[in-house]
Amino acid sequence: MIEMQGLTKKFDDLTAVKDVTLSIAPGEVLALLGPNGAGKTTTVRMLAAILAPTAGSARVVGHDVVAEGQEVRRHVGVLTEAPGLYTRMTGREYLDFFGEVRGFRSVNVVPASMS
């Protein structure tokens, strides 16, 4: 499901993720534990094809995170510690907006108490 080979990310002189090689099978649950700044979020961002690795490679659901980033992003959902919500949108507007982006038809649901 997830394959990493020598996955590495450098930010200038800082090596945030160094040479990670790991396989995760379908149905397997993996927790990345480490102190602040260990590189957990950077690893997840590379696996979600949000951030390009400096070296090494990774495949998610068989797709290369660099060459097939769009396909990877189609399969992956990430909720980080800073979700980056659009605070001007209501919950309902959020569902409408992202539903529309994903190709769902907009449906007006009237709560039972208001009908």
Report the C-alpha gap between 8 and 14 in whole angstroms: 11
Give the nearest distance from C-beta 20 to ligand ATP in angstroms: 12
Give the nearest distance from C-beta 37 to ligand ATP in angstroms: 4
**Ramachandran class of 75: left when φ > 0, alpha when ψ lies in -120 to 50, beta otherwise:** alpha
Q: Which of 5, 15, 41, 54 forms a contact with Mg ion (CB under 5 A)?
A: 41
Q: Binding segment for ligand ATP among 10-18, 61-69, 86-94, 101-109 (CB under 6 A)?
A: 10-18
Report the C-alpha gap between 61 and 80 in whole angstroms: 21
For the chain, helix (H) and strand (E) counts, in that order, are 3, 4
Interacting residues with ligand ATP (CB under 6 A): 11, 14, 16, 34, 36-42
Interacting residues with Mg ion (CB under 5 A): 40-41
